[in-house]
Structure formats: structure tokens, C-alpha cells
Homo-oligomer: A and B are copies of this chain.
Amino acid sequence: MEKFFFPNAVVVVGVSESKDNLGQNIISNLVNFGYEGKIHAVGPKGGRVMGHKIYQSVLDVPDAADLAVILTPARFIPEIITQCGKKGIKHAVIESAGFGEMGPEGKSVEKDLFAASKRSGIRFIGPNCVGLINTLNGLYVPFIALPSEFKKGHVSVIAQSGGVGLSLAERLNNPGLGLSKFVSIGNKLNMDEADLLAYLIKDPDTAVIYFYLEDFKRGREFADIALRSNKPVILHKSNTNPLTHTIAKSHSAALAAEDRIVDVACTYAGIVRVQSTEEAIFAIKGISMPLLKGKNLAILSRSGGHAVVATDMCAKYNFNLPELHPSILDEAKRHFRAGVIKIGNPLDLGDIFDLRVYPQIAEIILQQPDIHGIVYIHVSQMVIENEDTIQVMKKLAELSFKYDKPIVIVAEVPLSFHQMLKEELTHPFFMDPVEAFRALALQYHYAVFRQKKRPAIKKAAFPLKNSVKEWLEGIQQKGRQPLLHEALDLLDRLGIPTAPWRMVTTFTGARKAANEMGYPVVIKAVSPSLLHKSDQGGIAINIGNVETLEKLWEKIQSRIKGVVGIVLQKMIFASREIIVGAKRDPFFGPVVLMGLGGIMVEVMQDANMRLAPVDEDEASDMIDQLRGVRILGPFRGMKAADRRAIVRCLVEVSRLMYDLPEIQELDVNPLILSDDGNDGMAVDVRVICSNITQ
């Protein structure tokens, strides 16, 4: 992988003398930005460009090279790749479009490309991409003639759209930021997001990793690699809804992951998800400062109004403003001029005209142990303050690193002075308090993840019970989807509490079972015809005696096709229900969902999701994150619901999904929670296995 970014020489394929040839731009970028290795141009018509001879074939290039950059019509590329292989070039950046994203013809070229690269042992980036950049050695291979070098820095940018990636890279030209590596990954036919993330985590020149993605090729692997990363990963994932999917497909052959699962994966892996290039910059700025150790802030502001706006933001993002120690306030007061401003936290500096006092005050605030960071809002319209302002801001940045606490600087100054600040400062600053708090909130999100113990990633971490394996073998032998009694049986084998139930095939059996478990009971027809529609008159509830049982038994037998038996269950009365569901996402694998159930509540869609497996703590978090979690506590005369039953159900279902890829979907709906808090019991469940069509 190293050779993609540090090749000894680059062969640019697709260069001609023609005025509008884009290959020339690649050569000129390499020349202009001082690429250190050798540059070779290749194009069938030959000639010269920028002092470089254009060889007519890759095979004609006199020297060895690590990297080929290819920008020719798609149909020629498989052959060019073969030639690269012969020449010993093992890495390629394919910038041309015209592959899978263009329909059947492109698909066929794609196939040839795969074959050629495999034969030649070549790894490639693209196709359909703008190219890559390494600011460290001047390796600039985009086919766009860039106006200038990017500012060198610690941020690496991986983008599925070259346009969006370059916009972000351009905005890294800001104090405290800068670009390390840039890769436009295009169609990701060979090198994908997971490959690049794995590389950058080890790259000593990268401290912050930014991704712009429109789809995932290996979502779960990407998340698992990010989870292990000690570097922050910031993700702008677009293409979030059906309207967009059709567009994205035509643009770069992108399929779409369900957006809320992307959110879930980001939470899992500590990835900071952003929704725009602007927000990405906020996140990068935020994360480039010392990380918060807690949620307590001090606000220093020269304008009372800005302090009010900042305090609103504090509340919005759940930060606190603890009282400042009286000695700090006294020190501030000592410098006040008119004495017409009250002091506290926020501390209004509007009455201190000598700017040089501000860092002194900031320093004693940083020394207060329960203050974890400062938001400093500088407001000035006066040119005569500019020099002092720059000094104050530099000093504050130093203090921030000295005390390992963030000082977020807001510069509410005329735009002309903004420009000057950009040139003078070497650390990030913000345009207004809202931006500053967005950055701080994104940073805090990451800081918390860093402090948390991370879940271990182990395949088959939970030894699968033999009884569960046997169950699966039984279903597979039958070659059809599990019926209700089989699904309930699976829950029993997993140790998930179910309401007492019995599968019966004769009325005598039903009567016996009802007598044993006691009335009232529920009966549910079991039939393959009900697999996809469970409620076609196949259920009767609250049956109080044997006469009713007999009547309804017969009714159900006559109404439902292909009844193989009836599940008889104890009737459970309770006001609270939850739903536990699990499915297999094509990009992120098994996910588990829980939500409040019951007809009045389901409509509110109060549910949340995690990547499977979840442990008991995570299951507990899922419960607490319900908007209506209060219902599950002691509530209107009911005792707190049986939380252990919910947790047990979530943990076991999630482990099953993780360990047994043969299960495609599983829904417990509902799990009923008794008013007295003693029981939580699954009363209905549906299981769908993979590779069974019936």
C-alpha cells in the first residue's frame, strides 16, 4: 500500500499533445508541486509534454516504476493493466469513468479489468476517480490542473467523490489544519474504504482521518477497523434516502445502506458522523484541540449578547457552566473599568479594556479542577486592537495545550481582520459561538468514546449451544421456514422467557393443556399458509372455559388452510409491551432493534438499534434511550417492568444473529411486561432463515 503514496516513479497513461488533453494536467501537477520521483508520460500518439517524452506504450517506458496513473477510454484499460503487470508496476490509479456505472457495456469492461489485475497481481484505486495526493512528497495526480499546493497538515481525506473531497481539502487551508493524504476512491472496484482506513490508521503522517462515502463496500469491516483505531475517524456519509439512491447509482454505481444503520455503526465504532463539508471542518477543528475530560465549561466573552447565545448552545448540547471560584471573579473585577457588568460564568469581559489581562484570567480558570474547557468569544471592531488580539489568541492556544483542556476561540471581528487572523494564527478559531459549540459537541462525542472501554471484536465469541444447532439442523432438514411453535421453541432453547405454551394437534390435547396451565388461554393456528400473514382469523384470545375453547378450536380449523396444529398459550394480562427485532443488513451484518410496542404506542416509532452482538450494558442503554422509557419504570400504579427479561432477550437474539448467519430475521413481537414487574414474556415470534425459499 505504501507504494501508492510513496512511489519511486509515476507512469501517466493517456497523455497527448492535444490542447484539451486531461493527462497533461496530471503531468503539470506533478511538476508544479515538486514530486520527488521520476515522471513518465504514455500515449499512443507520442510527442512531448512539459519537457517529457510521451512513450507510445507502457512497455516502452525505460525505467521501473511503482505506480501507473491511467486516464484513457475505459475499453483500453484492461490491456494497459496487463502491460503494467509485464513492466512490474504493481499499483495503479484508474481515473477514467465508463465502467459499471454506465450499464452492461461498462460491466463487461469491468470484468476484463478484474481479470487483468488479478493475473498481473496489481492493486488499483478507482476507476471513476479524480486521483490521489500526498502532500509530503508532492505526489499530485488529479486530472484537474490545481491552482496551488494544498497546505500540509495532519488530516487525510478519502472521498468517494473527487469534487466533494477536493472541496474539503481546500477548506483545510485554515489555521491548525492541513492535508496529509488525499484519495478519490471512485467505484472502489479494488481498494475500498476498509483498505484505506486500515492503512491510514498506521500512517505516521496522519492524525485525523476524514471519509466522504456514498455507499459501503465493506461496512462492518470498516466499522470494526475504526473501532480499533486510536485516531479519530470523521465520516460524511451522503446518499441517505431513496430519492438520492437513483442519482448516486448513476454517479458511481452506489447502492445504499439504510441510513439509521449507518448511524448505529458510527455509534458502535466511535466514528464522528457529519452531514456536510462545513460540519466536517468543525469536527476536524474540534478534534484537533485537547480533548474534553468532562462537560463543564467556562465562557469568557467581550459581548453579553454573544454570551447569551453561547449559553443557549451550552444548554442545547448539555454542557454545564459551574460557578467560578470567588478568587477568579475577584481577579476579574480588579480590572473592571465602569463596574456596570455583573460577573459569573459566563464571565463578561466587556468592561476590561486591556486585552492582555484575558490570558491571565483564562489561566486561573484552567487551574480550577472542575472546569474542563473554555469558550473564549472575542468581539472587536477596532483596528487598534488587532495586534493585541493576535497575541491574546496565541497565548490562549499555548495555555490550552499546557493545561490539556480545549480553549475554543471565537473571533467575531470584521472579515478583513479574519483574513489576517488566518495568516497569523497556527490553531483553529471559529466565526461565531454556534460554530464553536458544534465543534465542541462533536469533539465531546469522540472524547467520551475514547474514554469508554471498547467491546472486543471476536468472531463466534459466544459458544453456540448444541440445542440451538440441533434446532437449525431440524429446520434445514424440513426445508421450509420455521413455524410458530418452532420459533417459540428456539426462544426456549435460547433461554428467553416465553409465556407458557404447548403445541397441540388434537382437541383432547388442547383441553388437557388448557387444564394444566389454567384458563384463560389463547390459541394460535400453526400453518405454513400463515408464515407471511399472521392475523387472518387464526388467533383467539382470552378463552375462559372449555366450551369456548372447543367452539373456537373448530372455527380456526375450518378457517385456516393447512393447519398442522395449534399453539395454546396462557393468556397474559399486562399494559406494557416491547418489540425485539433483528435482521441482517447487507453492509453492516446483523443488527438488533428494540422498541415500545402496543397498538397506541407503536405508532410513535419509539425504537432504537445496535450492531449485533450487544452485551448487557448495551442492551440496558437501548432501553434507556427510548423516548418513552418512563413507561417501563414504576409508572401510574404499575411496578417497574422486568428489565432483566428485556435485556436477556436482546442479548440472546443479538448473539444468535451474530453466530448463526443462517438466521435472516427474527422478531419477538410482543414481549409482554407484567404490571407487577415480575415477568417479561415473549408471546409471539417470527423467524426467517436464509437460503430457504418456502
Residues in chain A within 8 A of chain B (CB atoms): 20, 74, 96-98, 101-102, 144-148, 159-167, 170-171, 173, 212, 214, 238-244, 246-248, 250-252, 254, 275-279, 302-309, 311-312, 314-315, 321, 338, 340-342, 344, 346, 348, 350, 353, 379, 381-384, 412, 414-416, 431-435, 575-576, 598-601, 603-604, 606, 627-628, 630-631, 635-636
Contacts and interface: CB of A to CB of B under 8 A. Distances in A.
A306 B161 contact: yes
A305 B159 contact: yes
A431 B348 contact: no
Given A144-B381, A381-B147, A278 B431 contact: yes
Contact of A243 (B321, B598, B599, B627): B321
A312 B627 CA distance: 26
Given A97-B340, A247-B346, A276 B309 contact: yes
Given A167-B412, A247-B344, 12 more contacts: A147-B416, A163-B379, A171-B415, A173-B415, A239-B312, A244-B314, A244-B315, A248-B311, A251-B305, A276-B432, A277-B434, A604-B606
A173 B252 CA distance: 39
B338 A307 contact: no
Contacts of A163: 302-306, 350, 379, 412
Nearest to A144: B381
Count of identical protomers in the assembly: 2
B603 A305 contact: no
B305 A160 contact: yes
Given A434-B277, A603-B630, A308 B239 contact: yes
Contacts of A383: 147
A305 B240 contact: no
Nearest to A418: B170
Given A147-B414, A170-B415, A251 B340 contact: no
B575 A303 contact: no
16 contacts: A20-B353, A147-B416, A163-B303, A163-B379, A164-B305, A170-B415, A212-B305, A239-B312, A246-B344, A247-B308, A247-B311, A251-B307, A277-B432, A278-B435, A603-B631, A604-B604
Contacts of A165: 305
Nearest to A142: B381
Given A340-B102, A606-B604, A312 B244 contact: yes
Nearest to A146: B381
A638 to B, nearest CB: 9
B244 A379 contact: no
Contacts of A251: 304-305, 307-308, 342, 348
Nearest to A383: B147
A577 to B, nearest CB: 10
A164 B604 contact: no
Nearest to A412: B167
A338 B97 contact: yes
Contacts of A250: 341-342, 344
Contacts of A382: 144-145, 147
Contacts of A20: 353
A571 B153 CA distance: 73
Contacts of A381: 144-147, 166, 170
A162 B379 CA distance: 11
Contacts of A309: 164, 238, 276
Contacts of A240: 312, 315
B277 A167 contact: no
Contacts of A635: 599, 603
